[in-house]
Every structure is written in C-alpha cells, then in structure tokens.
C-alpha cells in the first residue's frame, strides 16, 4: 500500500482525535479508502472514521490491509507536518513508512504492532431526537458546563435545545430555540428527550471539529449519544458515547 494525501492536515486531525481516546489504532485500507472502528479502553466510547480514496492525490493498493501502530509514534511525527507539506505513507517489512516533503524532506519508519484485533460491531441504535447545530455553539456550551460539573445534559423539547449541568451548589443552563437561533440548522424529536453524558469525552470528540461547520447530535432518553461531523467532503468522523445514569 502506498498513498499520498491531498491535504495532510485532514489525516493529522483524524489521528489527533483518535489519540485523545486510545494509545494504539488499527486502520483498515481498501480500494475505497480507509476506515477506523475502535472502542476506547474503558468501553465508554466508540470511534468511527471513514475517508474516501479521493482524499489521496495518489493511491496504490493490491489488496485490503490492516495497519496497526502506536498513536504516540504516529502523532509525534504528524505534529511535524506543516500546512502545504506533502505526506506519503506506505507499508514495508512490518514498518509504516512516512515521507514528509516541504521545505525539506523527512523520512520516518515506525514499527507496526501486533494487535489481537477483533472487528468492532457497530451497535444498532434508534434515536428519538436529532439536532444539527454549529460546532462552536456546542463547544462553548461544553466549556461552560465544565465550570459546574463533569457531566452535561442534552434536552430536546421542541422547538428548543436545552444544554445544562448541575452540581450540589452550582447550575448552568442554555436554552436555544430553532425558531430564533441561526446556529441550529435542524431539529427533530418524537417527544421531550433528555440524557446525560461525560464532559471529558465530549471535549475529546469535539477537539477536531471545525468550529464553523455543523455537527449532528443524536440521542434518546437515558441512551447513548451519537455525534457526527465532516472533516471535509472526503472524510467524516462519528463517535458513540455511553450515557451516564441520572
């Protein structure tokens, strides 16, 4: 397998987001592109990333291949990639080869790791509420909620999205209506829906989201959350997060 990225920043952002949740990663490459399906070590969150082969300026693959690497190793190298640098990756003799071309040329090899890899089954979830909202709004709300507690509540009571948190002594609440808020693009709910989630995990999920682009929140009463956003037209990221008990 040999691939050169059109925009190395896209791959860098995807691996950054993964590295916030786990130390190693297995990436599945095939002729259509690449994908990651993984559960964090605590079994609280699942990451689902997909990228089309159009993310590459050149791509050669003879057969599907799984590449497992340390994210500490990989992300340490990707931090060196600057805007407009070219990044090429390939596999060779149990190594991942990375070539960075910018003002200078840098060549790295890192070992592939043996993982007792079990393909993750994506849970079949049914949601009663879905909200598409500007990423920056959710990022700011999560930061505000973190000043109060380590958990956050999402509530949809049509036509309102209510984001809140509370502790024994403090409370935070933000009430947003789709009717008068241009940062909410779509909202659907079968009934009043409310669930509670970890702020720590949400912060990690939102790390690579573009603040000027939408994200989609899908959940039900006391039920896992699915968070989706696009990196660009070639790559999308999804996360599933277990709810916290009330």
- In this prediction, residue 117 has a pLDDT band, given cuts at 50, 70 and 90, of low
Q: Map out the domains of the chain with their CATH numbers.
A: 2-111 (3.10.150.10), 129-237 (3.70.10.10)
With a CB cutoff of 8 Å and minimum separation 6, the contacts of 182 are none
* Cα distance between residue 107 and residue 19, in whole Å: 22
HSE-CB for 2 with a 13 A CA cutoff: 4
Q: Residue 6 — left, alpha, or beta (φ > 0 → left; ψ -120 to 50 → alpha)?
A: alpha
The pLDDT of 229-243, averaged and rounded, is 95
- In this prediction, residue 50 has a pLDDT band, given cuts at 50, 70 and 90, of very high
* Cα distance between residue 147 and residue 170, in whole Å: 9
Q: Is pLDDT above 60 for 118? A: no
H or E segment to which residue 126 belongs: none
pLDDT for 8-26, tens place per residue?
999 999 999 999 999 999 9
* Cα distance between residue 95 and residue 17, in whole Å: 23
Q: Is the pTM of this model over 0.85?
A: yes
H or E segment to which residue 15 belongs: helix 8-19
Q: Is pLDDT above 90 for 138? A: yes
pLDDT for 58-114, tens place per residue?
999 999 999 999 999 999 999 999 989 999 999 998 999 999 999 999 999 999 998
């Amino acid at each position: 397998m040999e691939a050169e990225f059109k925009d190395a920043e896209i791959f860098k952002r995807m691996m950054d987001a993964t590295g916030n949740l786990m130390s190693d990663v297995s990436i599945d490459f095939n002729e259509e592109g690449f994908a990651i399906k993984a559960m964090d070590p605590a079994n609280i969150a699942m990451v689902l990333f997909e990228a089309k082969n159009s993310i590459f300026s050149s791509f050669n693959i003879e057969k599907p291949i799984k590449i497992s690497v340390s994210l500490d190793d990989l992300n340490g190298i990707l931090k060196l990639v600057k805007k407009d640098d070219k990044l090429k990756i390939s596999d060779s003799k149990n190594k991942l080869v990375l070539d960075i071309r910018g003002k200078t040329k840098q060549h790295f090899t890192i070992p592939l790791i043996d993982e007792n890899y079990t393909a993750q089954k994506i849970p079949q979830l049914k949601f009663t509420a879905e909200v598409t909202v500007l990423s920056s709004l959710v990022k700011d709300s999560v930061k505000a909620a973190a000043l109060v507690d380590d958990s956050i509540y999402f509530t949809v009571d049509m036509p309102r999205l209510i984001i809140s948190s509370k502790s024994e002594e403090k409370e935070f609440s933000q009430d947003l209506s789709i009717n008068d808020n241009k940062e909410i693009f779509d909202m659907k709910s079968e009934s009043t829906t409310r669930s509670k989630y970890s702020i720590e995990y949400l912060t990690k999920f939102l790390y690579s989201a573009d603040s000027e682009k939408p994200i989609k929140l899908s959940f039900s009463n006391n039920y896992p959350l699915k968070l989706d956003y696009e990196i660009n037209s070639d790559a999308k990221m999804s996360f599933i997060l277990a709810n916290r008990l009330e």
